Amino acid sequence: MSNFANDKEKMADFTTMTKEAFLKSYSYLTELEYQATHKLAPNYEEIKQEMELYNADEIGLDNPITMETAEYNLLNSDKYNK
């Protein structure tokens, strides 16, 4: 089963769009390809949650992070670097 985890343009949209909106926008991709990629990369909700957790912490109150930084942190975490 193929995935598009190495396609920067698609991955930028993947992390910011809902599954339904993404598949509608990239109608030539299958749900199986979406699911294969989802197993390899954090989705919008995971990134948002990471950002909110960090920003709610004492360190984050003075130095909040962006969605991009939260995504970077997740991609470099043990969960996605096996």
Question: Residue 66: pLDDT above 60?
Answer: yes
Residues 30 and 60 grouped into a single domain? no
pLDDT > 70 fraction of the chain, expressed in percent and rounded: 95
Same domain, 13 and 34: yes
**How does pLDDT run across 6-46, given as a tens digit for each residue?**
888 898 888 788 999 999 999 999 999 998 888 877 777 88
pTM, entire model: 0.54
The total number of residues shown for the chain amounts to 82
Residues 6+ apart with CB under 8 A from 48: 67, 70
Q: Are residues 53 and 26 in the same domain?
A: no
User: Are residues 28 and 47 both part of a single domain?
Assistant: no
DSSP labels for 16-44? Answer: TS-HHHHHHHTTTS-HHHHHHHHTTS--H
Full residue range of the structural domain in which residue 73 is found: 43-82
Domain total in the chain: 2
At 18, which amino acid appears? T
Q: Residue 70 has which token pair?
A: 């939260």
Q: What is the pLDDT of residue 1?
A: 62
pLDDT above 60 for 82: no
